[in-house]
Every structure is written in C-alpha cells, then in structure tokens.
Structure 1
C-alpha cells in the first residue's frame, strides 16, 4: 500500500479494500486490532517506476540475492515508511532464511545498528508494543520510561517435566508419515490431529 497503513481496530470500517481469496470481510464491529502486512517494495531502483508486485514476507522477495541487495531493500522500505507517514515497518521472515544466508544476517544486523545510530526516534519493538504505544502515545523524551516497553520476559518456575517422552506416531490424517511428539504425559496411540485432538482415536 502506498502510503503504508497504520494498524487499526475493527471497531470501524477498514481503511482499505478487503483483499483475499474467498475471504469474508467483516460487516460489523469487532474488538480486535489488525496489524497490517504492508506490501514491501522490492524494486531495485525506487526512482524507476517499475510495475512489479511487492511482497509481504521479506523472504518471499525472490529478487534479494545478496547482502547488498537486502541492505538496499531495507533502506528503501524504511525510508518509504519514515518519510511518508511513519507507519510501523513490519519485517516478517522465517528465522531459517537468515540462518541459511549469513550474508543476509550480517546485512540485517548492520542495518539495525545504522538505523538506531542515525534516528533517535526509531525503535525495534513487538506488535504488542506498537499497539500499546498507539493506545497511549508518548513523546521521544517520555518513551524511555514508557512502562509497557520496560517489561522484561521472565522465565519462572521449573519446566513441565525434566525428561519428556519422545513419541514416534502416525495419523490416518497424514498417511505414510511418522511424526515425532515430545510430551510430559504418556504417548498417545496416534498423533493428535484435527479429527483426533487427543490422539486416542475416539473421534
């Protein structure tokens, strides 16, 4: 989308056309936030008005082949969000994409450091933290003490079990496949699936 869209609630009408294959678009209000997957511009030269589709997931942009291309892609999309309306830039990709492409990981970490060094008004936050700020905006000087952003993830308590059972199971829903399941309870007869959620074959 151009300009990029901000997250919005479903209390009111969507600020864009409803897209999707056979999706049912909401016709009434819902108390839910929509985090927009803004299309990422994958043009090599943003000044050249090339008519190529964007991508929502970074790792689905099949024209990113080198770390330099990835770095330029990140800068261009950051500028597009930052210079137009400061809508949050969502960067969605699978961890394996970075793990399998060390050059991309190096470019990504370099880019993050560069953005933070050059922009005192940019933060890398979770989707929940974006919504918390939208609901209760703070200035640059206040955001350092913004309580929802100061929360830390604390691991409490012991793990559910010290030695889980490792079960090699099958399911008639996935014929011919052996599926591994780690569980703290006894191994079920079958792999739990849609028509057999307990794995006991009663459904």
Structure 2
C-alpha cells in the first residue's frame, strides 16, 4: 500500500490549475483547449488521419472480417492502412492477436471480461493481467493504449491503472459538446485540471502528467442525433447508408481542423454484410479521392504525429509512418 501511495504521488499532480499552452508544450504535453494547430501548421498542411479501432475478443471468425476492412487500403507512401485492437481477454484467440501485431496493427487493452473494474486496484490488476497474456506474443513496450469497457472512461481509477502499468493513453471519452467541425479536439494530456467531462463514464479529476486522451467524436445519424459508434446510429440499413454515415463524419473532420477521426468498428457492425461493405468502400474512396492528404494509421502512430507535427509534403520521409518505421512514442513512464 505504501509503495502504491508513493507512486501515486508521482503520477498525480500536486495542484489543480488551468492548463497554459505556453507551459504545456509538445511532445510531452498539450492542453485540451489549446486553440492552436499542432506545430502551428496551416490546416492545408495537416494530414487527415483516420484511426480505425476495435475492442473486445478476437476470434477466428471476426479476425477475417476485421482484416477485410483493410483490404486494398494503402497509404500515400505505399504502406498498408492499419488499425488498433483493444483486447478483451476472455474468449480471445491470442494466436490471432499475434498475427495482427505481426501485420502491423497496434494492440491495446480493453478488459479481462468486458466489465469495468470498481476501483483503482481493479484497474491496476485488469491491465496487468491482459499485459501478461500479451507479453510473450507482441512487443509489450508498444502496448500503451487502453479503451474502457462500454466506452465509458473510468476516471481517476482508470488513469491510476494506466500509470502504474506504464501505459500512455486512454481512448474512451466522448462528449456531445465536442462533436462537430468547430469543436473537435486534438489529443491532449491530463497534466492540468479541469479537463473535458465525458458523456459516458468519468474523466479524471486529478492531473496525470504525460498521460494522453484520444477522444472519440460522436457521429450523427440522419436525424442529427449523436452516436458514439456506427452501430449505435439509427436508420442505417444499407451499404449506402453506412458509407454516407462514415463519409459525413469524415468530412466534418476534414473540413474543420483535420483532427484525427476515431472510427470504432464493433463485431456487430463488421458482421453485417452491408455495413462491412460500406466501411470498405468508404476507406477505399477517401484514400483514392484525397491523394496524399488522407492516412489510415493506428492510434499510436497518430499520437506520434501529434508529438512531432509534420507537414503533408514531408510525410513520405516521416519515420513513424514508414512500413517498418519506428513506432516508439515519446513517453515518460
């Protein structure tokens, strides 16, 4: 208990104060309300990043569905588009997880059994246990992200679990007030409080220095109502509906500040033939239609760009986005 208390004193800031963009600077810190584009780049210099992410169990059945989504999706530098998989332990085929990692996808952690822990000890243990399962299969130093079950952020308790397991970021928070082209947020750190509250779950109330949030921006269905994941959007029944839903969300990002588009695909959406086909068409269309402006990369690689903002014209030589590039984030555990 004493050891945990001492570590928490390091992880959690000593005071709560508004974030100052002049003091909270890249690559290790960014204020959630910083009005500036990363690196001071003009919007036309910023790549539109699409982060396709998944959570839950990985089985032989959904593995092929997920792989199919990336079929023929190639980035401007010729490297294949790749995504992020947040693993639930129960029911997962870890041989399939190993294969995904070998193919260049990012592996993160969701839970042991799809249920959020009740306290910080539970979060520490859950993240530790899934990391232990992954340890002999993937480069554990590159397993740095967490998505909470039901996409409901676990507040201070989750951030304590992230910190004490040497993880770097969460991607579970959404907020309906930050869900259009004028309000989307860039990934930010929890160095200072207050921060963005989450519509579902809880944001931390204490500072956690150097820990990042990659927010999930709501999509909007045909009635304009928010939906965090595509499968939660109403009146989507056809391939064309699925395409239009995703392209509409993409265009909100692209026509705004070009903040990364966090696209979550769940097993039900992937297993629906029309929705799956609409997703494949969407990814292939935006890649073919927007030239070197659109990149499909895992969340870690998106964070690498935020930490080291690089203009579109220089991305062919941006090391983290090469086919076998360095995926090591700037990270202070």
Could you say which structure has the larger radius of gyration?
Answer: 1
Structure with more strand by fraction = 2
Matches within 5 A, 1:1-203: 1=178, 2=180, 3-13=183-193, 16-21=196-201, 23=202, 25-42=204-221, 44=222, 50=223, 53-99=225-271, 101-119=272-290, 120-152=292-324
The normalised TM-score by structure 1 is 0.63
Report the aligned-residue RMSD: 2.2
Residues 13 and 122 (structure 1 numbering): CA distance in 2 closer, same or farther, change over 3 Å?
farther
Uncovered stretches (5+) of structure 2, i.e. residues with no partner: 1-177, 326-333
| Contact 1:11–1:32, Cα closer than 8 Å, also in 2 | yes
Q: Secondary structure at the match of 2:248?
A: helix
Q: Which of the pair has the greater relative contact order for Cα pairs under 8 Å at 6+ separation?
A: 2
Residues 147 and 61 (structure 1 numbering): CA distance in 2 closer, same or farther, change over 3 Å?
same
| Contact 1:116–1:122, Cα closer than 8 Å, also in 2 | yes
Separation of aligned partners in 2, 1:132 and 1:150: 12
The number of residue pairs the alignment matches comes to 144
Task: Give the drift of 1:83.
Answer: 0.6
Task: Give the drift of 1:27.
Answer: 2.2
Structure with more helix by fraction = 2
Task: Give the drift of 1:93.
Answer: 1.6
The normalised TM-score by structure 2 is 0.40
